[in-house]
């Protein structure tokens, strides 16, 4: 079973989270607060808030789940079931950067497999794996909505389109 | 190629879509004109125009709006704008949002007024960060300019109405494009479609009357209001009026997103608009309207089939998102079907047995055929499975997964049989690389399916079955 992401292991003991405001930066909390105001129910802000939390922490840990639950006055399971449903949330630590390479039909026709191979050649990662130096995690995405500019890749929210295998190396070099 | 009204500004060099630029092009005149009418008058114009939804189902937009409750109903109403665009092959809504966000916003505000919405929520897929930034800044500009607010004077009603729009992001689940899953997701839940009835116009977002419309659909509204119904119907065909955004991808010389009149022959889209099949090769087949619309062979394209709702329906396909994926003569249809089956298997929400199990079985059987391990009765099994998946589930994803397999078997059956008989790809494509890195398995993609084990571990219970489901899904290698 190499290549698969491991199922997250539970922490040894449940962290006792009392004040989520102490667990996130001021900026992140301000984003939480602004998001909640948009909706008639606080629960509606959950997915955007998980994004903000992930942007700060890098991934969604069990502590983050519980902190968000306390913040939104939800049961932890209500947060957890959402975090596990949506593929963009990382339930285990990932590299400093995450590259999503589209593997769907238009990108397959236009050579996404060569892009994936280029990652392997350049830094030895296969889909689902993180480089040894913790710089990058490679994942496969379903259609990213750039089919007419295939093949497409998304690194940390920036799209790279009409990609060639040769470009992969220089794009990776530019990442810190 | 006729008059453009969706891409006319985007095409201009240097146009960046700011409020000043949009206003200089006559922007927000349609909104002013609409606010001088009653909401019901706006609905009537859109209904008369014959505009049909561009999100997939092709439902008449004005007609959908009439399902909303009567004006004296005291409940809050909402407009949910579908910018989840994840149908493989589709890449159009994104261009409108990124490059002409005020145009999109104007369409949203007019539509929100027409259905008397308290607010509009724009559900943007999580990956579209650029779209979200563009829409957020357009909303901020419009708010600063007094175009949107809690209270905007509507001369047509002689009263102040709320005109509000917010963005909301998803997180990578295709199923959230289905209208009721979208509402669940907006409420902060798993994106699992709701059984209908009750329909959204009666019980939608937060239990209130709601209309769901696609971004491109709503972008048609401002030009209809400004230029009128008669003008709108000069484009397209009678049952399918107007222009549409056509993404052309795959094996063509000039892939791209083009604004074209509905009813244009698909052959002309490939040859005249997209520069023909690449590398001087012949056409093998197409996907006419996003992955769910299945495969059509060259013969049907050459037969002059048009890109409109009725023509495609007659072929057992449908217009979907009107995004064409082109396959040249060297391509293996079994491989293409496999990629789509893996996609639907990954995206099924798992509520309905037919869909959850059906998608997994389709994926496994197609993978085994592609891999040279197909069995003689596999085609019969596939057809029986597809039959069991059609029209029996909460939402249409199950149908969407079955249609590509059915149409591929209808038009390219010999290719499947040849794979099974000769235990390899007759087109000489190498056996799929089942690397040990799991590239073509789902391990690296799956968070969703392991929820039962995750729930247990959250409560500190070690589950001996953990990961079992993943194992059973692994493709034969
Ligand atoms: C599985 C599934 C996925 C869908 N994805 C989208 C989508 O990404 N974008 C969209 O606009 N409509 C999508 N739809 C269609 C919506 O349910 C709905 O019909 C549409 O948003 C209505 O808007 P319209 O009337 O303006 O077309 C999807 C439907 C299904 C069954
Ligand atoms: S048809 Fe599939 S995706 Fe739709 S509700 Fe049922 S299981 Fe979920
Ligand atoms: S198939 Fe890769 S972006 Fe659509």
Asked if B198 and B204 count as a contact pair (C-beta separation under 8 A), the reply is no
Beta carbons of B85 and B5 less than 8 angstroms apart: no
| CB spacing of A142 vs B444 below 8 angstroms | no
Residue B147 DSSP SS3: coil
Contact at CB, A5 and B170, closer than 8 angstroms: no
Same domain, A57 and A122: no
pTM: 0.91
**Same-domain check for residues A43 and A67:** yes
- Answer positive or negative: Cα dihedral of B463, B458, B443, B474: positive
Residue that is last in its domain, among A64, A85, A106: A85
Q: Are residues A79 and A117 in the same domain?
A: no
Interfacial A residues in 107-166 facing B (CB < 8 Å): 108-110, 113, 116, 120, 126-129, 139-150, 154, 157-159
pLDDT at B427: 81
* Confidence at residue A44, expressed as pLDDT on a 0 to 100 scale: 97
In a domain, A31, yes or no: yes
What stretch of H or E contains A112? helix A112-123
- Domains in chain B, please, with CATH? 19-232 (3.40.50.11540), 240-312+324-331+454-472 (3.10.20.600), 333-422 (1.20.1440.230)
Co-location of A167 and A110 in the same domain: yes
Are the C-beta atoms of A147 and B91 separated by less than 8 Å?
yes
Domain housing A78: 20-85
| Other beta carbons within 10 Å of B18 | 14
CB B113 within 8 A of CB B36: no
Q: Which of B50, B55, B88, B110 to mutate to test the pocket of ligand 1 (most atoms within 8 A of CB)?
A: B55
Query: From A110, which residue of chain B is nearest by alpha-carbon distance?
Result: B250
**CATH code (residue A132):** 3.40.30.10
Distance from CA of A171 to the nearest CA of B (A): 19
pLDDT by 10s per residue, chain B, length 477? 578 999 999 999 999 999 999 999 999 999 999 999 999 999 999 999 999 999 999 999 999 999 999 999 999 999 999 999 999 999 999 999 999 999 999 999 999 999 999 999 999 999 999 999 999 999 999 999 999 999 999 999 999 999 999 999 999 999 999 999 999 999 999 999 999 999 999 999 999 999 999 999 999 999 999 999 999 999 999 999 999 999 999 999 999 999 999 999 999 999 999 999 999 999 999 999 999 999 999 999 999 999 999 999 999 999 999 999 999 999 999 999 999 999 999 999 999 999 999 999 999 999 999 999 999 999 999 999 999 999 999 999 999 999 999 999 999 999 999 999 999 888 877 655 433 233 333 333 333 333 333 333 333 333 333 333 332 333 332
A64 shares its domain with A103: no
Distance (Å) from CA B393 to ligand 1 centroid:
16
Same domain, yes or no: A105 and A80: no
* CA pair distance A98, A153, nearest whole angstrom: 10
Provide the 3-class DSSP secondary structure of residue B159. strand
- Among candidates B206, B438, B447 on the partner chain, residue whose Cβ is nearest the Cβ of A41: B206
Residue B340 DSSP code = H
Note whether A126 and A66 are same-domain residues. no
Query: Are A81 and A119 in a shared domain?
Result: no
The residue among A30, A54, A85 that closes a domain is A85
d(CA B431, CA B183): 42
Cis status, amide bond into B43, omega within 30 of 0: no
Instruction: Judge if A73 and A109 occupy the same domain.
Output: no
Q: Which atom of ligand 1 is nearest to the CA of B61?
A: 25
Inside any domain, residue A92: no
Q: Same domain, yes or no, for A79 and A131?
A: no
For residues A80 and A101, membership in a common domain is answered with no
Does the Cβ of B350 fall within 6 Å of ligand 2?
yes
Domain count, chain A: 2
Starting from the CA of residue B357, give the closest ligand. Answer: 2
Q: How confident is residue A15, by pLDDT bands cut at 50, 70 and 90?
A: low
B191, two tokens: 């994106």
The CATH code of the domain that includes A47 is: 1.10.10
Are A78 and A130 found together in one domain?
A: no
Give which of A98, A147, A155 to mutate to test B binding, by max B Cβ within 10 Å.
A147
Asked if B10 contacts B245 with a C-beta cutoff of 8 angstroms, the reply is no
Range 17-36 of A in CB contact (< 8 A) with B: none
Nearest to residue B171, comparing CAs of A93, A78, A83, A161?
Answer: A83
Is ligand 2 within 6 A of the CB of residue B175? yes
User: Residue B98 contacts by C-beta under 8 Å, 6 or more apart in sequence?
Assistant: B17, B130, B131, B134
CA B55–ligand 1 middle distance (angstroms): 5
Which is nearest to A151 in space by CA: A165, A138, A139?
A165
Asked whether residue A4 is assigned to any structural domain, the reply reads no
């Amino acid at each position: 079973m190499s290549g698969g992401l491991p199922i997250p292991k539970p922490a040894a003991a449940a962290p006792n989270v009392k004040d989520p405001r102490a667990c996130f930066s001021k900026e992140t909390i301000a984003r939480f607060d602004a998001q909640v105001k948009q909706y008639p129910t606080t629960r509606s802000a959950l997915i955007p808030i998980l994004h903000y939390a992930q942007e700060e922490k890098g991934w969604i840990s069990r502590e983050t789940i519980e902190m968000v639950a306390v913040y939104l006055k939800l049961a932890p399971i209500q947060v957890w079931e959402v975090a596990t449903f949506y593929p963009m949330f990382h339930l285990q630590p990932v590299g400093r950067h995450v590259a999503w390479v589209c593997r769907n039909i238009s990108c397959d026709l236009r050579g996404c497999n060569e892009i994936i191979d280029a990652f392997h050649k350049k830094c030895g990662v296969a889909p689902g794996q993180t480089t040894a130096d913790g710089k990058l995690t490679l994942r496969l995405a379903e259609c990213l909505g750039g089919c007419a500019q295939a093949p497409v890749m998304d690194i940390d929210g920036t799209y790279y389109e009409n990609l060639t295998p040769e470009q992969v190396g220089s794009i990776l070099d530019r990442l810190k | 190629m006729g008059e453009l009204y969706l891409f006319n500004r985007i095409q201009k060099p240097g146009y960046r879509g700011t409020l000043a630029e949009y206003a200089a092009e006559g922007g927000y005149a349609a909104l002013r004109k609409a606010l001088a009418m009653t909401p019901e008058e706006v609905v009537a114009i859109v209904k008369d125009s014959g505009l049909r939804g561009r999100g997939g189902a092709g439902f008449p937009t004005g007609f959908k709006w009439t399902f909303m409750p009567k004006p004296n109903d005291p409940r809050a109403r909402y407009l949910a704008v579908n910018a989840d665009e994840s149908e493989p092959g589709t890449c159009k809504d994104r261009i409108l949002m990124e490059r002409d966000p005020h145009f999109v916003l104007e369409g949203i505000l007019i539509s929100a007024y027409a259905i008397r919405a308290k607010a509009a929520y724009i559900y943007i897929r999580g990956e579209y960060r650029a779209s979200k930034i563009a829409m957020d800044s357009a909303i901020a500009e419009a708010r600063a300019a007094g175009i949107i607010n809690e209270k905007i004077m509507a001369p047509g009603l002689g009263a102040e109405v709320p005109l509000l729009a917010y963005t909301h992001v998803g997180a990578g689940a295709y199923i959230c494009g289905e209208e009721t899953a979208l509402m669940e997701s907006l409420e902060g839940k798993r994106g699992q479609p709701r059984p209908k009835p009750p329909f959204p116009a009666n019980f939608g977002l937060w239990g209130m009357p709601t209309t769901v419309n696609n971004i491109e659909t709503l972008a048609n509204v401002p030009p209809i209001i400004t230029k009128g119904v008669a003008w709108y119907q000069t484009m397209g065909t009678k049952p399918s009026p107007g222009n549409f955004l056509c993404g052309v991808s795959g094996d063509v010389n000039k892939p791209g997103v083009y604004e074209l009149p509905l009813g244009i022959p698909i052959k002309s889209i490939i040859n005249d608009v997209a520069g023909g099949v690449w590398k001087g090769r012949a056409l093998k087949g197409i996907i006419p309207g996003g992955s769910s619309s299945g495969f059509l062979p060259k013969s049907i394209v050459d037969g002059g089939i048009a890109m409109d709702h009725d023509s495609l329906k007659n072929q057992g396909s449908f217009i979907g998102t009107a995004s064409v994926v082109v396959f040249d003569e060297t391509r293996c249809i079994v491989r293409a079907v496999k990629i789509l089956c893996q996609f639907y298997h990954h995206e099924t929400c798992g509520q309905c047995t037919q869909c959850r199990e059906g998608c997994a079985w389709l994926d496994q059987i197609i993978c085994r055929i592609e891999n040279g391990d197909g069995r003689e009765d596999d085609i019969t099994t596939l057809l029986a499975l597809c039959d069991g998946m059609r029209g029996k589930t909460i939402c249409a994803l199950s149908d969407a997964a079955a249609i590509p397999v059915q149409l591929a078997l209808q038009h390219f059956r010999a290719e499947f049989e040849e794979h099974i008989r000769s235990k390899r790809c007759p087109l000489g494509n190498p056996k799929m690389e089942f690397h040990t890195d799991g590239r073509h398995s789902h391990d690296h993609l799956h968070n969703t399916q392991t929820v039962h084990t995750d729930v247990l571990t959250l409560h500190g219970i070690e589950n001996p079955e953990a990961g079992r489901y993943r194992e059973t899904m692994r493709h034969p290698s």
